[in-house]
Amino acid sequence: AWTGAYHFSGTTWLWPGGGAITWPNWVSGAPDGSGGTCASMDPTNGLWSDAACSAVLPFVCEQATF
């Protein structure tokens, strides 16, 4: 599933709104740059990996609290 996080520059990954990721949950060895510039999450364990942004995956949305 897409998390919305993307590779900005160097080792910097950001959320769609431009905020820094303060709690990454990368699978061991990721991101390694070979997968792509978007972060995907394995729904069975919650771990992230870098993936090609063109991959067709479900997505996770943030819900605002009111």
- Confidence (pTM): 0.82
Percent of the chain at pLDDT > 90 equals 67
What's the start-to-end Cα distance of the chain, in Å?
Answer: 25
Inter-CA distances, 25 with 1, 13, 52, 62, 66, Å: 14, 12, 18, 17, 27
Inter-CA distances, 40 with 13, 19, 23, 56, 66, Å: 12, 17, 14, 11, 27
66, pLDDT greater than 90: no
pLDDT in tens, 17-49: 899 998 889 999 999 878 789 999 999 999 999
**What distance in Å separates the CA atoms of residue 35 and residue 18, rounded to the nearest whole number?**
21
